[in-house]
């Protein structure tokens, strides 16, 4: 495996409390942005740079711009057109660099009679207003001598609906639509599938933008974030198929790895051989593209004046990040959110030791039990040498030994029952969690886009995070990080429910909201049963003391009677230690050999991936 390196300008282990929260908006239907986000989301790259990320997906630019204006985002991965709209509406943001180039195009059905742009006269074109697709369509139409406002009928449509329109088929026409305006990876995918033909294409640009407020409050962290973006590009170049699969699983748009790679080739960073070759700087060509977008926005009524977008470009932070990369020492990042396939493979590999082996507890119990028996036997032998009227009666010692062992058995039964019942509660909470998520996913199909697609994407993220829950109960630091990510996803899901409630109040939306609250309930139950509701320490102390006293009395009986069988003693000690080991293991999720099988959650994710 090729070694991959991340900057060590921050300590490699930064506690969750010390990390700086950063909210990253991105567009779900856009590559190569999607692959970069997957690397940032699924590895510890940003964690190692002292950042605590939350990833907020959007279907296209306008909802992302609205969220940025409300102060709900710190970073925007978006087209230059979205940034232009953001600045025109008063957004206080800076453009720090280029994320990637992207292709925008007008596409028609494979057998459409439309051969040139001028053939669009009197035709109907589906496009998402205010996006790079819409911009490039109207610019090409104007260049061909058409009036976009009069000669062509442009219909505003969400990019997700445009995808469904093309996928529904049509060799000469897509329903009432003659053409569509969209961007990669849809262009590459439809070309490779033969579902559509490119009529005209143009290169556009996607940017890294950060709010002034975040920069002013966290300038060093902003520089580190830019380092992380460059490093994520290199990770993608080294592990393209794996990262592409992450994005395919997340987006569920039917993209193929070949189409994603074809789209990513639009950017020169795709051919970078090392981290030092990654270039995020905005050159003159990039700035000209931004100027074109600003002028188009003013001409089409999206802004009152031409936005001086160049004034919002600040590449000094990028220069500092590049310098830090050049002079830094690097280490390989770890994948912290593996794919479902990788989790399934891990579960099948028989890795039963968990995070911390319990051999020490077993050996300690054996030693303590043997020591108690030997101590009792030593005392019993000494007492047996006394005159008969001074030493204990063998009958009395036998009666006491039997009573003590019976009480020990009673305590063991109670403790084992408590541990087993908690195991059952964790299992029931897992199944409840699975059912609640699946129900919410199904109900999401009853709500309109973009809520449906975004909610289902968030739920797939949510399932992947929840699959790791059973393995981190014994690691407080990882558990804090997992709960933080779960809480962030839950908040975003609830935001979708609030958006639907503002739009309309009906029973279907209420059921959708109820599903999310059920998920929260089972999420809390799983954490509580996994970490909080454990056998109390005092009970363990009583159990250990009871066992020591019982073994001491038994050893004393052996010494008094002079009847000792070492194999029998050893068998007793080992059996007792194994029972204690089993009880402790059942009560320690995420640590020992007894693991709650996460297959129901894995099966759920696979079923969600197979559904549309």
Q: Where are the alpha helices (DSSP H) in 300-339?
A: 316-327
For residue 310, the 8-state DSSP code is G
Q: Is the pLDDT of residue 493 over 80?
A: yes
User: What integer pLDDT is reported at residue 77 of this predicted model?
Assistant: 96
* Average model confidence (pLDDT) across the chain: 82
Is residue 541 classed exposed, middle or buried when 0-12, 13-18 and 19+ CB atoms within 10 A define those classes? exposed
User: What integer pLDDT is reported at residue 169 of this predicted model?
Assistant: 82
CA distance 33 to 603: 28
**pLDDT level of residue 340 (50, 70, 90 thresholds):** low
User: What integer pLDDT is reported at residue 329 of this predicted model?
Assistant: 66
CA distance 486 to 495: 14
For the stretch 79-125, pLDDT in tens is 888 888 898 888 899 999 999 998 889 999 999 999 999 999 999 99
Average pLDDT of span 256-261: 89
User: What integer pLDDT is reported at residue 352 of this predicted model?
Assistant: 33
- Tokens linked to 414: 């109670």
Beta-sheet pairing, 197-211 with 75-79: antiparallel
Is residue 169 classed exposed, middle or buried when 0-12, 13-18 and 19+ CB atoms within 10 A define those classes? exposed
Q: Is the pLDDT of residue 230 over 80?
A: yes
| DSSP per-residue string spanning 491-560 | HHHHHHHHHHHHH---HHHHHHHHHHHHHHHHHHHHHIIIIIS---HHHHHHHHHHHHHHHHHHHHHHHH
Superfamily, domain 6-97+206-346: Periplasmic binding protein-like II (3.40.190.10)
| CATH class of domain segment(s) 106-202 | alpha beta
Nearest of 75, 452, 445, 425 to residue 228 by alpha carbon: 75
SS3 per-residue string spanning 101-169: EEEEEEEECCCCCCCCHHHHCCCEEEECCCCHHHHHHHHHHHHCCCCCCCCCEEEECCHHHHHHHHHCC
User: What integer pLDDT is reported at residue 591 of this predicted model?
Assistant: 67
**Cβ of 176: how many Cβ atoms within 10 Å?**
10
Nearest of 525, 590, 534, 580 to residue 418 by alpha carbon: 534
Sign of the torsion angle spanned by Cα atoms 59, 60, 64, 66: negative
Q: What distances in angstroms separate CA 542 from CA 358, 415, 536, 575, 576, one per listed residue?
A: 20, 11, 10, 19, 15
**pLDDT level of residue 264 (50, 70, 90 thresholds):** very high
- Tokens linked to 173: 């026409």
In the three-class reduction of DSSP (H, G, I as helix; E, B as strand; rest coil), residue 54 is classed as strand
Q: Pick the more confident residue, 8 or 191.
A: 191
- Tokens linked to 369: 């039990």
User: What integer pLDDT is reported at residue 590 of this predicted model?
Assistant: 63
Q: Pick the more confident residue, 435 or 550.
A: 435
Most distant CA pair in the chain, distance: 123
**Residues 6+ positions from 41 with CB-CB distance below 8 Å:** 53, 55, 337
Phi, psi of 268 (to 5 degrees): -65, -20
User: What integer pLDDT is reported at residue 85 of this predicted model?
Assistant: 85
CA distance 584 to 418: 11
**Residues 6+ positions from 401 with CB-CB distance below 8 Å:** 550, 553, 554, 556, 557
User: What integer pLDDT is reported at residue 348 of this predicted model?
Assistant: 42
**Residues 6+ positions from 344 with CB-CB distance below 8 Å:** 599, 602
- Least confident among 34-43, 111-120, 472-481: 472-481
Contact 306, 295 (CB under 8 A): yes
For residue 425, the 8-state DSSP code is H
Residue spans of beta strands (DSSP E) within 212-296: none
Q: Pick the more confident residue, 328 or 210.
A: 210
| DSSP per-residue string spanning 182-196 | EETTHHHHHHHHTS-
In the three-class reduction of DSSP (H, G, I as helix; E, B as strand; rest coil), residue 84 is classed as helix
User: What integer pLDDT is reported at residue 213 of this predicted model?
Assistant: 96
Q: What distances in angstroms separate CA 434 from CA 30, 72, 522, 599, one per listed residue?
A: 29, 30, 9, 10
CA distance 600 to 469: 13
Nearest of 183, 145, 147, 176 to residue 33 by alpha carbon: 183
**pLDDT level of residue 18 (50, 70, 90 thresholds):** confident
Q: Which residues pair with 207 in a beta bridge?
A: 78, 98
**Cβ of 270: how many Cβ atoms within 10 Å?**
17
Q: Is the pLDDT of residue 349 over 70?
A: no
Highest mean pLDDT among 74-78, 294-298, 606-610: 74-78
User: What integer pLDDT is reported at residue 389 of this predicted model?
Assistant: 56
- Tokens linked to 306: 């031409």
User: What integer pLDDT is reported at residue 526 of this predicted model?
Assistant: 81
| DSSP per-residue string spanning 189-234 | HHHHHTS-EEEEEEEEEEEEEEEHHHHHH-HHHHHHHHHHHHHHHH
Proportion of the chain in helix, strand, coil states, percent, rounded to 5: 60, 10, 25
User: What integer pLDDT is reported at residue 212 of this predicted model?
Assistant: 96
For the stretch 384-410, pLDDT in tens is 777 765 666 777 777 887 788 888 888
Sign of the torsion angle spanned by Cα atoms 248, 251, 254, 258: negative
CA distance 315 to 223: 11
Average pLDDT of span 42-71: 90
Where in the chain are all domains bearing CATH 3.40.190.10?
A: 6-97+206-346, 106-202
Q: Pick the more confident residue, 431 or 577.
A: 431
Which residue is listed with tokens 């190692």? 48
CA distance 196 to 476: 51
């Amino acid at each position: 495996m090729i070694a991959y390196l991340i900057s060590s300008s921050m300590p490699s282990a930064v506690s969750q409390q010390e990390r700086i929260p950063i909210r990253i908006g991105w567009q779900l239907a856009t590559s190569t942005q999607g692959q970069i986000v997957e690397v940032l989301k699924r590895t510890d790259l940003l964690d190692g740079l002292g950042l605590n990320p939350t990833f907020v997906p959007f279907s296209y630019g306008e909802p992302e711009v609205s969220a940025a204006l409300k102060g709900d985002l710190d970073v925007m991965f978006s087209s230059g057109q979205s940034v232009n709209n953001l600045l025109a509406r008063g957004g206080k943001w800076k453009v720090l660099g280029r994320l990637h180039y992207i292709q925008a195009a007008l596409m028609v059905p494979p057998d459409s009679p439309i051969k040139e742009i001028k053939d669009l006269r009197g035709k109907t074109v589906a496009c998402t207003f205010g996006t790079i697709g819409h911009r490039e369509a109207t610019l090409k139409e104007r260049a061909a001598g058409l009036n976009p406002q009069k000669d062509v009928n442009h219909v505003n449509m969400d990019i997700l609906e445009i995808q469904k329109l093309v996928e529904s088929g049509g060799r000469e026409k897509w329903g009432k639509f003659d053409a569509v305006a969209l961007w990669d990876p849809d262009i590459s995918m439809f070309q490779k599938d033969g579902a559509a033909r490119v009529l005209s294409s143009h290169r556009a640009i996607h940017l890294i933008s950060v709010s002034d407020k975040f920069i002013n409050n966290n300038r060093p962290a902003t520089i580190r974030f830019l380092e992380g973006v460059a490093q994520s590009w290199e990770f993608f170049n080294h592990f393209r198929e794996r990262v592409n699969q992450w994005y395919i699983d997340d987006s569920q748009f039917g993209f193929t790895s070949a189409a994603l790679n074809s789209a990513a080739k639009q950017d020169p960073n795709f051919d970078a051989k090392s981290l030092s070759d990654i270039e995020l700087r905005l050159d003159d060509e990039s700035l000209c593209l931004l100027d074109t977008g600003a002028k188009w926005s003013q001409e089409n009524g999206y802004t009152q004046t031409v936005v001086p977008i160049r004034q919002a470009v600040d590449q000094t932070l990028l220069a500092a990040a590049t310098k830090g990369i050049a002079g830094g020492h690097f280490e390989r990042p770890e994948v912290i959110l593996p794919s479902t396939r990788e989790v399934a493979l891990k579960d099948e590999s028989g890795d039963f030791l968990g995070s911390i082996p319990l051999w020490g507890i077993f050996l300690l119990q054996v030693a303590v039990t043997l020591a108690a028996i030997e101590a009792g036997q030593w005392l019993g032998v000494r007492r047996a040498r006394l005159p008969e009227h001074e030493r204990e009666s063998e009958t009395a010692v036998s009666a006491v030994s039997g009573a003590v062992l019976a009480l020990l058995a009673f305590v063991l039964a109670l403790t084992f029952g408590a541990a087993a019942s908690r195991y059952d509660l964790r299992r029931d909470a897992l199944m409840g969690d699975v059912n609640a998520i699946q129900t919410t996913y199904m109900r999401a199909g009853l709500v309109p886009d973009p809520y449906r697609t975004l909610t289902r994407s968030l739920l797939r993220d949510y399932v992947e995070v929840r699959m790791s829950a059973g393995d981190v109960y014994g690691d407080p630091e990882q558990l804090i990080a997992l709960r933080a990510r779960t809480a962030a996803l839950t908040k975003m899901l609830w935001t979708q429910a609030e958006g639907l409630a503002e739009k309309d109040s009906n029973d279907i939306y209420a059921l959708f909201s109820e599903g999310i609250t059920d998920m929260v309930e089972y999420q809390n139950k799983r954490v509580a049963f996994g970490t909080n509701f454990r056998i109390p320490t005092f009970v363990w102390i009583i159990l250990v003391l009871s066992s020591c006293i019982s073994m001491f009395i038994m050893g004393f009986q052996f010494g008094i009677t002079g009847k000792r069988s070492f194999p029998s003693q050893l068998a007793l000690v080992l059996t007792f230690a194994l029972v204690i080991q089993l009880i402790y293991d059942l009560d320690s999720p995420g640590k020992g050999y007894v693991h709650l099988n996460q297959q129901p959650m894995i099966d759920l994710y696979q079923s969600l991936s197979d559904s549309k």
